[in-house]
Amino acid sequence: MSGQSRYRELWSHYIRDCQGVVLVIDCSDRIRTPVAKDELSTFIAHKDILHKDVPILIFANKVTMIF
């Protein structure tokens, strides 16, 4: 599912049958990083997912690595 605000309301229709989550965060967009955190917190606190063992994979997109 897309993370655009107009699609977030649709998430609740899919949570019950969810078997895993892939969250992609655009790390170059510092304004939306807190939004992603809030959405993830809302998701894992949802009544249909709260007591399930659902794996969550978080991709940090556009991360600059300095070695």
pLDDT tens string 3-26: 667 766 777 777 888 888 898 888
Band (pLDDT 50/70/90 cuts) for residue 58 is: very high
The H-assigned helical ranges of 1-67 are 5-8, 11-14, 33-44
pTM for the predicted model, two decimal places: 0.70
Domain spans, the chain: 5-61
Q: And the tokens for 31?
A: 């304004």
Check residue 32 and give its pLDDT.
Answer: 84
